[in-house]
Structure 1
């Protein structure tokens, strides 16, 4: 049976936002009624059928606490949640002292936690009133929810379990009734496996709510421990006296398993399952710290396969991928279990030789690798030969930081290429060509803006329901007078390290807005233009002023501009991120989380942010076509989460028809990638947009 909620507000936007959130609640919709003023609300509460009230404190016929007190008197025991605007939280807090159950802030009404919190309050009120004894209606409600509910008397003895609690604990209600809560709910510390106090005991002693620690385990009767999350709260009679406690908990095994899988995929290469550069850097930092404490040494080997591009281009990506997998297997066999073999991307690998490894050890390992890779690889009827060039750096001789060691090993690898390939070279101080190139790139970047050497390319994003272009992502290209077209991966890192990314990013935003305005004035179909924003740009003190000025000068419609930020950028300072994003949203811009799943973030924090779009990182999309188990699990999970949060989901890097088919089957909203189109110039994209407009 659904719950009926009375929304007391004259704000139409608030009403629609709340009704939308409640209509699509994950555990079933709420039925909503509206009252535009206090008088109508009081009149409605005179009739039965309302389970909870959401109340704006500023109504046309009454405002503030006086308004709340009158409605509270008319509501009787019906729970009330007050709605408030940022800056008026103190008044909302005061309503709690006058009898409100909770309060909600504008701007977060669409969050999926709103119906969850409302359902919890209604259920808790039902328990407090003893309706599970007096009415069949509350009994059905408690037994239909997925969460387990257990209540106790003042002695901490169980007096109620719903069906979910019976299943999870292994206790039938009649068996558990009258037994101590600690006997029915045996809870362990997930790390030590030792028993911990039941939270109900704290509630009864302190008359205060409490949540269980994140790594708690429930030991069911005759079963294996189950990871749970829960909250416990006091039950009061109508005079405010505590008469017992209620505990609500749920099995989070699937959440933990999904988190572990997502973290593994975020830290491992999808093709070879080797650690990726993120996990490698973490292990190098740990190895350096250990070596620094004990006066030890370690070695890094940077490998690049010789002429791999020829094999990839001539025999196809499928054969090239299998060759990389075969190489990865042989590399792992050449080192100790304490060492780390990592794929950096493409045909590049980095090996960390830890535990006090010297130059002699590195040379022996390099010789072993050259011999192992010299043997032919038999793949799909082809006998392939893949040699490698190896550069070696030693800690602490060649650097005392992670990036320095990797850079110097990379530099030595290029010298191995110059020495004829299929050999290894140790880093020497005179190998400074990479450093010289970096300085050259930086100095050239400083002149690039003045000389108007930058250009934006645009990659279409396709609506998977209609097949039409739904938007484009603006991608930066650099036309160097001597080097030709320079790809971003060659200069973006230098731009970020030098701080030049801020003026370059401002140019990108201005150029994208100018182009969006031109498309609009040309009468083309509306579409969003997405622009990537780096950490330095987003955190720059003049970021918002720059966006506002560019919008004003360009005349672009803010609703057609989408700002893309990575998880790691948003998580550096959640409070600041929230403030900035709310301002951008107020102006009409859309917010997208780029490369979703590759960073480490709390989903609870992400839920607080006003996000419109989740972009699934291409590594997860590529995994769809691999032979790995549950290769589409993460993609499916992100799509499902996006739909629950009313966010559009865009899949990046779609290259294979089978990837597209999977995404369509999962009802993914949009996709981009070489399967549809590479990034092209605005002139090349114009006819495509024109055809769409004409169609």
Structure 2
């Protein structure tokens, strides 16, 4: 259309007179200019704009105004007319018009003062008869204002759309800054917003910068705030307009602010615009530019106009975001309660995906959605009465009919004429709060129940009764259906067999106590099926919480019938070993303990149950050990006396007869001395089992000590019944015993006393049975004898032991003179089996009874004052033996001897030894004196002084028989020791009793710390040696390494090893 207009205009120019042309030329509202077109000299075929000359022929008044030209010389080059910035662009379009021979158009802009001028230029060619372009007519239209308005509208539209897509208010500000800076060429923009209290301006996260270098400028203002009227931003805030021009530098041509920090950073112009929303300042937008020429009034006006519109958009955006993103449901209804507007959160609370669907489906919420419609009706009544904000809490149905707790607050909105306009309110989902509140009450109750359960476990010693009571308290508190305490059985099976020790059941009020014995092999009675996965977790000390829908099939099938939907499994650890687990099983409606917050409480319960069970088991073990012989497992004297006392009371009431039998194994000492204690112990165990097998259920057999046993035979009808049982016992022990490849033959002698004829109380019956036993031995052994007042010999019961005692004492007094004492030497070896020392053993070659061990005569010698003299003989003989080995250059020439209390207390012991060392020419360190643990514990002044003197002369001191319980590890540092000897009883029971293994390990470790030589005594088997070696014991003594040898045999042994 514009081209047609230009063509028509060209045709008119051809016929107009010069006068008419001038009139139109000067009066038109458009700028008009005419240029002459010629080729430059020497250019025959112009191919670019520079090959042509465009000279001005005419220029009207409007053109001069548009181009700000006062005077212009006709005939000058067109480049003199237009500003330099658009000169080339105009010439290029003139060349295009000349070359194409048809009109062309362009839009040009340039900065003119503090505004941007934009012209729409249309160029039309004038041709000669040969159709050659000789002149070009140009029409100019000033489109600056229209372009500014259009640019502003487009920019505002772009910003509005971008803000609408922004997720929040800071993001919307960020978009606005970027768009404004891009459109108006500002280099940097930032936003300052009001604080929450609206007292200061604070930096927001929104910013825009063309260069990363401008970030340092931003960092200079981090943390700054501006109160109203303080600083540049504060003045803009309070004035609600751009900054006061008076604060600009004197040389500024613009009334814009230029802070010193911005100037230092290279910015030349700054602009601060208040962001107004409904007449209220929301913040301040700040812009900076480096090129002052680009910051004209027109751009300032554009930014100002956009900022005003931006405030409106942001206001809508802000409150739209608040409405849509509120964490509470917001609604507006008609006065009669019909919903007109709801936000997404309210729709979500009621189970809808969007507000639109909610408004379509929601009819009468009070009836359809509120669990208690009457409460909602009463609530709305209070709201309509205009009582201000009204609040209440209630339960509502969601779209899927699930129930949630809500807190609703509403107020009445009235019109200017006081009529009801609407009801506005908000709804919060407080389900989690209610659950937390309920959970808190549950946790408090659980803590209280746990405390009471623990008090029950601690306050009562009878754990068999208190554990079920504690489980009942826990069960009532946790509201579970069932609690089980389950112990692992056979650990060789994976997962191990289990059996139920204790159980509490709510509905049946079942409380089961511990089984006397585990269930049969390969069977389990635990109600909860233990899967390999569960056992793996429990064995690692991990707890398990599971709901039935996630449980393995075997568990689900086992529990579905019981209405169990969830359960806890917590490991029970006793003495650092996986003992079992605690199971708590619940239905969906009863139990609240599905949170890990209850874990610590439940773990405390499991740990306390473990401690209680451990205490119970320990008590049982202690009680068992107190009343049983550890080697054979038979009742000991205490338990035998207790049962015998009760049996005598029954027999007295019922007029019954009871037989008490005293048994002694024949030739046991010979077997024990010859083959060692290990063989002797096994023989005692097999004898015990045979005795038990041939007795009635009502009979009782006990080990009295050594190779002696006591039997109680109640309900004896006739005297012959006791004899029959005795003969059965004799027969059962006549069969040989097979032990470690040895075929052993032994027999027994039995003495029998009867109630009531031979005694009325346990002490008298046992005494008379013992006397009858002596008579059986005197009768040739392997027989039984009934007690009578005088048996065969005619000696009274008082005389028999006394005569034997006097005969032994008489022989003992003559033993030294007759040279009947003999020393035997048992080697002490290291881990490699090398002999490191010898232990001296004193024996008595009795003229009629044969070789007697120290236990058979030393007590008698001590009681009659003979032990010191015998001991001096032994020490002298030992020193002489050391001298003999030393002369033969045999090693080790070192011997240990045990001293009694009376020997240690003897004055002059150290002096006696000093003389011996001189006469035998040996070193004091070659003699080691062992002090029994019981003697060392006495710590009398005489003993302490004697030990100190022995140490002073260089004698080594050993603590003998350690581990019997008399001395503790903590007391060792007070003794001046060099050697610690572990008692043989600890070694003998090493494999059966784990407590002995722990004790030996502690002794070895403690000895290492104190730099003591530790020797384990009584090593009889390879198994004992292997176990001691594993416990890091360094030295050993016992029949496994060599029985006590005579001096000659010991010498031969040294020669052989040497």
TM-score by length of 2: 0.36
Partners of 2:884 and 2:615 in 1: how far apart?
A: 46
Among 813, 816, 822, which residue is 1:455 paired with? 822
Does the 8 Å CA contact 2:825/2:839 hold for their aligned counterparts? yes
Q: CA deviation at 1:473?
A: 0.8
Report the secondary structure of 1:676's partner residue.
Answer: coil
SS of 1:479's equivalent in the other structure is: strand
- 1:327 alignment counterpart: 687
What secondary structure does 1:459 align onto?
Answer: strand
Match of 1:665 among 1030, 1042, 1054: 1030
2:900 to 513, 528, 534: 534
| Cα distance in structure 2, aligned partners of 1:551 and 1:260 | 54
Which of 794, 807, 813 lines up with 1:440 in the alignment?
807
Partner Cα separation in structure 1 for residue 823 and residue 986 of structure 2: 27
State how 1:290-439 maps to structure 2 within 5 Å.
301-305=661-665, 324-329=684-689, 331=691, 334=695, 341-342=702-703, 344-345=705-706, 348-351=707-710, 368=725, 370-371=727-728, 374=731, 388-392=748-752, 409-417=769-777, 418=779, 421-426=782-787, 428=789, 430=795, 432-439=799-806
Give the alignment partner of residue 1046 of structure 2, picking from 650, 669, 681. Answer: 681
* Per-residue deviation, 1:648: 1.9
- 1:586 is matched with 952
Cα offsets for 1:647-680 (capped at 9, x unmatched): 2221222232232232233322211222222222
TM-score by length of 1: 0.51
- Is the 8 Å Cα contact of residues 456 and 682 (structure 1) preserved in structure 2? yes
Assess, with a 3 A threshold, how the Cα gap between structure 1 residues 484 and 316 changes in structure 2: closer, same or farther: closer
> Is 1:455–1:477's contact at 8 Å kept on the other side of the alignment?
yes
Match of 2:807, SS state, is helix
Shift of residue 266 of structure 1?
10
Q: Is the 8 A contact 2:676 2:1020 kept in 1?
A: no
Per the TM alignment, residue 189 of structure 1 is displaced from its structure 2 partner at its CA by 12
Provide closer, same or farther for how the CA distance between residues 481 and 403 of structure 1 changes in structure 2, counting only shifts above 3 A: farther
Q: How is 1:6-21 mapped onto 2 (pairs within 5 angstroms)?
A: none
Counterpart residue number, 1:77? none
Q: CA deviation at 1:600?
A: 3.2
Secondary structure of 2:857's counterpart equals helix
1 CA distance for matches of 2:459 and 2:940? 29
Corresponding residue to 2:637 among 275, 280, 304: 280
Gaps of 5+ in 1: 1-182, 195-218, 228-250
Q: Which whole-Å CA distance do the structure 2 matches of 1:528 and 1:255 have between them? A: 47
Q: Secondary structure at the match of 2:772?
A: helix
2:880 corresponds to 1:514:
yes
- Give, in whole Å, the separation in 2 of the partners of 1:500 and 1:315: 31
Deviation at residue 471 of structure 1 after TM alignment: 0.5
Cα offset, 1:379, TM superposition? 7.6
Q: What do the CA deviations read for 1:219-241 (whole angstroms, capped 9, x no partner)?
A: 995465699xxxxxxxxxxxxxx
Residues in 2 aligned to 1:547 and 1:450: alpha-carbon distance in whole angstroms: 22
CA distance in 2, matches of 1:675, 1:449: 32
CA distance in 2, matches of 1:532, 1:272: 30
Distance of 1:656 and 1:353 partners within structure 2? 35
Helix, strand or coil for the counterpart of 1:680?
Answer: coil
Decide which structure has the larger Cα Rg and report it.
2
Matched, 1:561 2:927: yes
- 1:617 aligns to 2:983 (yes or no): yes
Question: Separation in 1 of the partners of 2:970 and 2:926?
Answer: 28
Alignment of 1:597 onto 2:995: no
Partner Cα distance (1:494, 1:560) in 2: 30
Could you tell me how far apart the structure 2 residues matched to 1:458 and 1:441 are? Answer: 25
C-alpha distance in structure 1 between counterparts of 2:909 and 2:639, whole Å: 31
Over residues 608-644 of structure 1, what are the superposed CA-to-partner deviations in whole Å (9 max), with x where a residue is unaligned? Answer: 22232222222332334x6666774444443334334
2:959, 2:768 → 1: CA distance? 33
Matches of residues 173-322 of structure 1 in structure 2 within 5 Å? 222=605, 224=607, 271-274=631-634, 280=637, 301-305=661-665
Report the Cα offset of residue 569 of structure 1.
1.9
- The count of residues paired between Structure 1 and Structure 2 equals 458
Q: C-alpha displacement at 1:444, in angstroms?
A: 1.4
Q: Are 1:331 and 1:369, in contact at CA under 8 Å, matched by a contact in 2?
A: no
Q: How many Å separate the matches in 2 of 1:187 and 1:580?
A: 53
Distance in 1 (CA, whole Å) between partners of 2:1034 and 2:839 is 15
2:22 alignment counterpart: none
Structure 2 unaligned spans of 5+: 1-450, 463-600
* Corresponding residue of 2:466: none
